[in-house]
Structures are given as C-alpha cells and as structure tokens.
Amino acid sequence: MQRAFLIRTCTDSVFDGRSRPCLLHQIKRCSGPCTGEVNEEEYAKLVKEAKDFLSGKSTDMQKVLAKQMEAASVDLDFERAAIYRDRLSTLSHVQSHQGINPQSVTEADVFAVYQSGGMICIQVFFFRTGQNWGNRAYFPRADKTIEPSEVLGAFLGQFYDDRPCPRHILLSHDTGEIDLLAEAFSTKSDYKVHVSVPQRGEKRELVEHVGTNAREALERKLAETSTQAKLMKGLQEAFGLEKTPNRIEVFDNSHIQGTNAVGGMIVAGPDGFAKNQYRKFNIKSEDLVPSDDYGMMREVMQRRFSRLVKEYGMPEEQTIEDGEIGIWPDLLLIDGGLGQLNVVYDTMKEMGLEKAVTMVGIAKGPETRCWA
C-alpha cells in the first residue's frame, strides 16, 4: 500500500520537524509532503485514491492510473510514466494476494478454531467492501479440557474490546452465547451486528476455508515449537545447565564513534524469539568515557535487574505456567569476552543476584570462544 499510494506514515511531530526527505521517500514509499516534494493538491489526490481503493473502487483506480500512464508516455515524460507503471504493478500485486473475494460477504470477520496437540489456533479473516483484507492466526492459552467453542467465545469478547466490530461475524463453532454476543456487539457499535454459524452456501465454504488455514497454522506452530524445544535442550547440554532454559536474554552495546550509546536486549523462549519483550537502553551515565563498553554493560545490567527486582521480586518468587516464557531469565548471553562477562558477574553480585541466573560470554576469534 505504501508503494501504491506513497502516503506518509510518520507522526505529526516527525513530519513538522523534517528538513529533508527521509529514507522512505528515497526508496519510493512516500511522496515526501514533509518537505514539499509533492504539493498539497497532489498529495490530497493521493489520499483520495487510497480511500477509494480501500472503499472497493480498485478496478476504477487501476483504469485511472492506466490512463495517466498512457498520457505521460504520449508527453514523453517516461519518468512519470514509470511511476504510474510501478503503482499499477503494486496494486495488481495487492489484489492477487487477497485470495478469495466472496460475492455474498461485503463486511465481515470470519473466525475458525482448531485444536490439536494440546494447543488451539483461532484464525480470523477480515473482509471489507467484498474483498479479503488479510488474516491473522492467534494461539490463546487455555486448559486442555476446555472445548474449542468455549475458547472461541471468550476470545471474541477480548478481540473486540478495543477494535470496531463489522456488521457480520461468521464462526466455525457455536459458542452457546451467539445471541448474547450479537447484542453486546450491537450495543457497543450503535448498529446491528449479526453473529452466526453458517450451515450452507458460500458463507459456509468461507468458514471451512478459514478452518483449513487454522489447521495449517497450528501444524506449523507445533512443528516450530518442537524444533525450538530441541534447540533449548541442545543449549542446556552445551553449557551443562541444570535445566532447560525457559527464558534467555541476550545483551549487546553499541555507539557511533563514542556518541549515541545504547544497550540492546533480545529475548528468546519456548516459542522462539519474543520480540515484544525486546528492550533498548539509552545510556545515561555522564561519567562514561566514549566507547567504555564495560561501563555501558554495567549500567544496562543495573537498570535491567534493579527494575526486575523492584517490580517482580526475587527469582524464587516467580511462578511459570507451562509454555510461558516467564519474567526472570534462566540464562544471560553477553556479546563480549571474559572482560565483559566479569563486569556482568560483578554487577549481579553487587545486587545479590550472582546465583540467580547463569551468565555466558561469547566472543569472536579464530574459533568462537565461550566463558560461563
């Protein structure tokens, strides 16, 4: 969509503060209204085209762009014609990836639930203006004894807690509270919301298609989980750990010629990398000399674990349910040699946490070296 309509995605504060176009303009994903690369009238036209496309007028939009490309070619303005050509190509790409576009469904969210291997997947497809505008798989945690229909019913209430409801919601399973859900969603939306479990016709085929996607998504998830479990087990054996690590935190520092120093933390767990757990630490110490990697590492450790203790208590107070990543790490991976590892150990010892977590330093060399 960015390539097709060149609409800005920056915040108003960033927009107002620009003195030259950003990278998105350079890679042709923004028209650059912040610095006048496109005037207000032309940019308003781009916004209108985007609205028309999202309102289902995609065919008309392509015809308009095709005429504009042809006119530019006639005027020998091949650079402008190439822009229209690229936009047409992008729109065709978007439409080709929309998959099924049902005739009898104009505005609906379609949900299907599938259970296997002690896990549940809820797949949802979004249809607007008769077009498929994407889908997403969710993997809610629930007791294995709870029926998929019950999980779906509870999920729906949370799903629409902070987002608008479409006029139709199609389900693969009867939750037992369909009328109640429809009434609650209608009250929230100020218009009639229909919730149903289709039994025949195109809508039923649509639900079955979404159900197939739910099954395939869960099978991929189970395969990934199995692979991740093997990796974690291998890590336990490689470092001689007492138990398989449940949460791993990796730390590294960087700077730009001694300025703009930051520390980074990435996290991995039973389901792979947990990107929502990632953290960045802007180094605040004014006493640090440029490129003092030891000092930067010490500050990051102090800030990370002092806050952890303050908010969640000591690690022995932590309780982890099956499959959850937890709060306290079992293993720290430090990007650095023995010097960085010693700094981390000394910092953790000052806080009384040297026995709370295993610390491993990894450094580059003729062969990768590890210190634990």
* Domain presence at residue 103: no
First to last CA, the chain: 48
Same domain, residue pair 274 and 339: yes
CATH code (residue 180): 3.30.420
* Domain presence at residue 233: no
pLDDT at residue 266 in the model: 95
Can you give the residue range of the structural domain that contains 68? 2-96
Same domain, residue pair 79 and 119: no
Both tokens of 219, joined, read: 């099978």
The pTM assigned to this predicted structure is: 0.60
The structural domain count of the chain equals: 3
Q: Is the dihedral of CA 163, 168, 171, 177 positive or negative?
A: positive
∠ CA 231-234-239, nearest 5°, is 125
pLDDT at residue 226 in the model: 79
Per-residue pLDDT tens over the stretch 78-135 = 777 877 777 777 776 665 455 566 677 889 999 999 998 888 999 999 988 777 778 8
Same domain, residue pair 29 and 9: yes
Same domain, residue pair 262 and 355: yes
Per-residue pLDDT tens over the stretch 32-60 = 999 989 899 989 988 988 887 777 666 67
Same domain, residue pair 92 and 115: no
pLDDT at residue 277 in the model: 92
pLDDT at residue 371 in the model: 65
Residue 138's nearest CA partner among 116, 157, 155 is 155
* Domain presence at residue 231: no
Same domain, residue pair 345 and 320: yes
CB 305 within 8 A of CB 348: yes
pLDDT at residue 227 in the model: 81
CATH code (residue 339): 3.30.420.340
- Helix (H) or strand (E) run with residue 267 in it: strand 259-269
Q: Which of 45, 73, 96 is the last residue of a domain?
A: 96
Under-70 pLDDT residues of the chain: 56-59, 92-102, 258, 290, 321-323, 365-372
Same domain, residue pair 91 and 116: no
pLDDT at residue 290 in the model: 66
Q: Which of 35, 65, 96 is the last residue of a domain?
A: 96
φ, ψ for residue 200, nearest 5 deg: -160, 170
pLDDT at residue 180 in the model: 93
Same domain, residue pair 70 and 112: no
pLDDT at residue 65 in the model: 76
Same domain, residue pair 6 and 71: yes
In this structure, are strands 248-256 and 259-269 parallel, antiparallel, or unpaired?
antiparallel
* Domain presence at residue 205: yes
Q: Which of 96, 127, 162 is the last residue of a domain?
A: 96
* Domain presence at residue 197: yes
* Domain presence at residue 172: yes
